[in-house]
Amino acid sequence: MTPNNERVEQSVVVEGATPVTIPSSLAAAGEVSSVQVRSRRIGFECASGDWIEDDWTGVPLADLVDAASMPETTTHVRVESADGYCACIPMVDLMGSLVALDAVERPASDFPRFVSSSVGGPRALKHVVAVEPLALDAGENREDYEELWFEED
């Protein structure tokens, strides 16, 4: 486990026809011309059961999907962390979400992190490294594309 004062340095790759890579540092992310860093107050229930609400700063995941030119057939994105933990998120749940690179009250070791008021629990991933498009058929279960376990915050 990473100590609370250490940042996990890694890039986040968003797959698509024109993949986008954003660095894990807030300052460097602002230099990526295809995305804009924003701040939003987002609250969600963490996998530990705690309510986490904070002022998060990062890149809207919907903007990253657009910048990467994901296929029109994309119904979900698979968000993956550095340790192989993966969540499958419906496209409709991306509105208002961020790949957060910083927050007022969260330790540096939490980033980059997927945060959304529409998605909580074990799908609020820390240490995000990749986002890839998926086209699930109507009968497919998104859980078949996930690896979910959690540590308490």
The reported pLDDT for the residue numbered 3 is: 38
pTM of the model: 0.85
8 CB-contact burial (10 Å; exposed 0-12 / middle 13-18 / buried 19+):
middle
Q: Is residue 90 part of a domain?
A: yes
Residue 29 belongs to domain spanning: 12-138
Q: Is residue 94 part of a domain?
A: yes
Bridge-based pairing state of the strands 38-45 and 51-60 = antiparallel
Q: Is residue 48 part of a domain?
A: yes
Confidence of residue 47 (pLDDT cuts 50, 70, 90): confident
Q: Is residue 4 part of a domain?
A: no
Q: What is the mean pLDDT of residues 31-50?
A: 82
Q: Provide the domain count of the chain.
A: 1
Whichever domain contains 26, its CATH number is 3.90.420.10
In this structure, the number of other CB atoms found within 10 A of the CB of residue 31 comes to 11
pLDDT in tens, 64-86: 999 999 999 999 999 999 989 99
